[in-house]
Chain A
Amino acid sequence: MTLAKRIVPCLDVDHGKVVKCINFLNPKQAGDPVEMAQRYSDDGADELVFLDITASHEKRDIMRKYVEGVAKAINIPFTVGGGIRNVLDARLVLCSGADKVSVNTAAVEKPKLITELADVFGRQCVVTAIDAKRNRTPRDGKIMVDTAEGKVWFEVVTYGGRKPTGFDAIAWALEAERLGAGEFLVTSMDRDGTKDGYDIELTRAISERVNVPVIASGGAGIPKHLLDVFTEGKADAALAASIFHYNQYPVPVVKDYLRKMGVTIRP
């Protein structure tokens, strides 16, 4: 037997409530993080990711409350990300019961943060989230990758996809690994929300170069997309939101399909 590929539902949280999907945003649809975590855990999810999009000064109190609630309700691992900018933020989340924290913009702006977190909590606690976008304009020093649409490089974007940084995502992953990242959450901004499938080339380019696990994110629309990112994309885990939230493809259905296709999956 070998290590199983992980299925990771992602929940966006705003003010302590799960916001199901941006396209269908409706306050009435907001779910309770503890209830939803419980449901996914019962369904056989291997791990959960909470991305907190709350932008307010009460954020920390709100986070502490639901993170504790989730930790008490489920006994599978979960990661919390969104606005973690320093060791203090990370400690709050980890001591409230999360297993890992994910850092994104703050790490790009201050790479040393990854080392600080790894030194205090161990690198297995530190997920580095990278949002990347294809760039077709060749530039000196960028790692050009052959794709179906020709050579591209992958540009790191921060602030939830709003700010292109000019940094090469592959180079950043290698640097972050050296600094202490224990895992990568790689999101394709080209595919996010499209349901057209993961960016296989992006995922593979990073997964083949780093020696820590890679979670692929952005674009899952059907179970076949997860199969492709595991087999061709060399992902260790696949994150998805909307395909699970609407019960279109519940976790057990996705897992059954992957198992039938020969992927090692936890029952």
Chain B
Amino acid sequence: MANAVIFDYGMGNLLSLKTALEKAGLNASIGTTAEDIAKADAIALPGVGSFTAALERLDTVKETLQTKVTDGTPLLGICLGLQLFFESSEEGPGEGLAFFVGRNYQLPSTVKVPHMGWNTLDIVKPNELFDGVKEDSYVYFVHSLYPVPEDKSIVCTTTEYGTTFTSAVASKNIYGTQFHPEKSGDIGIKILKNFAKAVKR
């Protein structure tokens, strides 16, 4: 079975993601070192902690991670994990992984923040990650920031909350969701199964 490594920033709940990836058909483990990353068939960057704190934790594995992903290892970023794909964030200082050009912004104060709960996906560009997922499907969000990619061609879905924001991106072997597929019921599992399919290909 393909081995998916969930990178542990050292805080919060990783069990749900591990369980969900296993339900999707991957062998999931928690990793903290460059060695763990190096032997992964797929990598997941989970959504706990803050931009700056997560980057500090990623520091020792950053190069390994960047090389692995450039070489084609499938990567799934969730929530903060997606935000790390970009260069910078309004949340705090630090240089992101910079797989894509762009920055993360705070949600507007005209709405309650964090954006917490079930909201819908507007599928703007079909991608294998959303195979079998219908337009306006509900998924679970918990976040205060959102990414703005410069290259709009990587945007798969958008969602409305105070603004229209990018809720999922995909480009080759890099996939990211602002929502939590591991907390999004059957639809979330379907998305993770699609990711697993891409990993096994």
Question: Could you list which residues of chain A lie within 8 angstroms of chain B, going by C-beta atoms?
Answer: 1-4, 6, 41, 46-47, 68, 71-72, 75-77, 94-99, 120-125, 182-183, 210-213, 236-237, 266-267
Is B115's CB within 8 Å of the partner chain A?
A: yes
Is B189's CB within 8 Å of the partner chain A?
A: yes
Q: What A residues does B23 contact at CB under 8 A? A: 75
- Sample 8 A-B pairs with CB under 8 A, ordered by A number: A4-B118, A96-B15, A97-B19, A122-B48, A125-B12, A212-B113, A236-B116, A266-B138
Q: Is the CB of A72 within 8 A of B15?
A: yes
Among B16, B49, B109, which residue has its beta carbon within 8 angstroms of that of A75? B16
Is B62's CB within 8 Å of the partner chain A?
A: no
Q: What A residues does B16 contact at CB under 8 A? A: 71, 75, 97, 99
Q: Is the CB of B184 within 8 A of A75?
A: yes
Q: Is the CB of B11 within 8 A of A236?
A: no
Stretch at the interface among B31-39, B66-74, B140-148: B140-148
Q: For chain B, what secondary structure do more than half of its interface residues adopt (helix, strand, loop), or is it mixed?
A: mixed
Q: What A residues does B12 contact at CB under 8 A? A: 94-95, 121-122, 125
Q: Is the CB of B118 within 8 A of A95?
A: no
Given contacts A94-B12, A95-B14, A213-B117, list 4 more A-B pairs with CB under 8 A: A1-B122, A41-B185, A125-B12, A236-B116
Query: Which among B11, B114, B118, B188 has the highest number of chain A CB atoms within 10 Å?
Result: B118
Query: Which among A96, A124, A210 has the highest number of chain B CB atoms within 10 Å?
Result: A124
Q: For chain A, what secondary structure do more than half of its interface residues adopt (helix, strand, loop), or is it mixed?
A: loop
Q: Is the CB of A71 within 8 A of B19?
A: yes
Q: Is the CB of A75 within 8 A of B117?
A: no
Is B13's CB within 8 Å of the partner chain A?
A: yes
Q: Is the CB of B183 within 8 A of A95?
A: no
Interface residues of B in 130-151 (CB under 8 A from A): 136, 138, 140-144
Among A1, A47, A120, A212, which residue has its beta carbon within 8 angstroms of that of B136? A1
Among A4, A124, A210, A237, which residue has its beta carbon within 8 angstroms of that of B138? A4
Among B11, B20, B109, B188, which residue has its beta carbon within 8 angstroms of that of A121? B11
